[in-house]
Amino acid sequence: MSEALKNLGKVSAYVYDYFPEVLEVIPNRNANRNYFVRLTSDEFTCVCPVTGQPDYATIKIMYIPDEKLVESKSLKLYLTSFRNVGIFHEDVVNKISDDLIKILNPRYIEVEGFFKVRGGISIEPFVNFGRGEFEEFASKRLLEKK
Q: Is 48 a catalytic residue?
A: yes
Counting Cα atoms < 13 Å in the Cβ hemisphere of 126 gives: 11
CB-based contacts of 85: which residues, under 8 Å, 6+ apart?
Answer: 17, 18, 46, 47
State which H helix or E strand residue 57 sits in. Answer: strand 54-64
Could you give the 3-state DSSP secondary structure of residue 99?
A: helix
**Is residue 61 within 8 Å of 96, Cβ to Cβ?**
yes
CA distance 54 to 76: 19
Which residue of the set 17, 55, 91, 99 is catalytic? Answer: 55
Q: Is 46 a catalytic residue?
A: no
Which residue of the set 17, 42, 46, 48 is catalytic? Answer: 48
Number of neighbouring beta carbons within 10 Å of residue 34 = 13
Catalytic residue numbers? Answer: 48, 55
